[in-house]
Amino acid sequence: MPLVLHIAKAEPPARSAVLQAAATATVTLCLDERVGTGEDGEPGPWRGDYLAWTGARIRKVARRARGAQWLAAQDVDGVTVDVDGAQARALVPGPVGALDPRIRRLQIGGTDLDHDSPGDVADGVPVLWVDGSLGMTVGKAAAQVGHAAMILAGAMTTEQAWRWAHDDFRCAVRDADPDRWAALVDAVGAGRAVAVRDAGFTEVAPGSTTVVAELPD
Encode pLDDT of 43-100 as tens digits.
999 999 999 999 887 888 999 999 999 999 999 999 999 999 999 999 999 988 889 9
Residue 118 lies in a domain: no
Encode pLDDT of 162-191 as tens digits.
999 999 999 999 999 999 999 999 999 999
Say if residue 161's pLDDT is above 80.
Answer: yes
Sorting pLDDT into bands at 50, 70 and 90, what band is 108?
A: confident
User: Quick one: 98 and 191 in the same domain?
Assistant: no
User: Quick one: 100 and 140 in the same domain?
Assistant: no
35 in Cβ contact with 105 (< 8 Å): no
Q: For the residues 138-160, what does the mean pLDDT come to?
A: 95
Residue 166 lies in a domain: yes
Round to whole Å and give the CA distance between 129 and 213: 6
In terms of residue numbers, what domain contains 22?
2-104
Residue 200 dihedral angles phi and psi, to the nearest 5°: 85, 25
Encode pLDDT of 14-54 as tens digits.
999 999 999 999 999 999 999 999 888 899 999 999 999 99
Give the end of a domain, one of 104, 139, 167. 104
User: Quick one: 19 and 99 in the same domain?
Assistant: yes
Q: State the pLDDT at residue 14.
A: 96
> CA distances (Å), 183 to each of 17, 19, 30, 62, 90, in order?
24, 22, 29, 29, 31
User: Quick one: 161 and 97 in the same domain?
Assistant: no
User: Quick one: 26 and 73 in the same domain?
Assistant: yes
Q: State the pLDDT at residue 40.
A: 87
User: Quick one: 13 and 98 in the same domain?
Assistant: yes
Q: Which CATH number does the domain housing residue 152 bear?
A: 3.40.1490.10
Q: State the pLDDT at residue 111.
A: 74
Q: State the pLDDT at residue 152.
A: 97
Residue 110 lies in a domain: no
Residue 120 lies in a domain: no
Convert the chain into a string of H (helix), E (strand) and C (coil): CEEEEECCCCCCCCHHHHHHHHHHHHHHHHCCCCCCECCCCCECCCHHHHHHHHCCCCCCEEEEECCHHHHHHCCCCEEEEEECCEEEEEECCCCHHHCCHHHHCCECCCCCCCCCCCCCCCCCCCEEEEEHHHCCCHHHHHHHHHHHHHHHHHHCCHHHHHHHHHCCCCCEEEEECHHHHHHHHHHHHCCCEEEEECCCCCCCCCCCEEEEEECCC
User: Quick one: 97 and 150 in the same domain?
Assistant: no
Q: State the pLDDT at residue 199.
A: 84
Nearest to 96 by CA among 53, 141, 142: 53
Distance of CA 187 to the CA centre of its chain: 21
Provide the number of structural domains found in the chain: 2
User: Quick one: 86 and 138 in the same domain?
Assistant: no
Give the end of a domain, one of 53, 69, 104. 104
Q: State the pLDDT at residue 70.
A: 97
Q: For the residues 117-132, what does the mean pLDDT come to?
A: 92
User: Quick one: 6 and 100 in the same domain?
Assistant: yes
Round to whole Å and give the CA distance between 192 and 156: 11
Is the pLDDT higher at 212 or at 124? Answer: 212
User: Quick one: 94 and 135 in the same domain?
Assistant: no
User: Quick one: 132 and 196 in the same domain?
Assistant: yes
Encode pLDDT of 1-15 as tens digits.
999 999 988 899 999
Residue 117 lies in a domain: no
User: Quick one: 23 and 96 in the same domain?
Assistant: yes
